[in-house]
Amino acid sequence: MNAVGRDDPKPQPPERSCPICGKPASTDRLPFCSKRCADVDLNRWLSGVYSIPGQDARGREADGEDE
C-alpha cells in the first residue's frame, strides 16, 4: 500500500471569493475574479467617495437658515 499523496502539505493560498459576483478570485486580480469585477468595484468606490462630501457640506450650510 502506498500512503504517499494522502497528506500533501501544499502551500495553498486561502480561497477568496470575488466581492462583486462571488466567484473564486483570480490570483492575478485579487481580490476579484476578473478585471470586469475590479472595474465595477472601482466605480462603486469612486461614486461613493464623491457623494459623501457634497451631502455633508450641504447639510451644514443649510443649518440655521429659517424663513
Buried b (16+ CB within 10 A) or exposed e, 3-42: eeeeeeeeeeeeeeebebeeeebbeeeeebbbeebbebee
Instruction: Determine the interface stretch with Zn ion among 3-11, 15-23, 49-57, 58-66 (rule: CB under 5 A).
Output: 15-23
Does the footprint of Zn ion cover residue 30 (CB under 5 A)? no
Nearer to Zn ion, 39 or 56 (CB): 39
Does the footprint of Zn ion cover residue 42 (CB under 5 A)? no
Binding footprint of Zn ion on the chain (CB under 5 A): 18, 20-21, 23, 33, 37
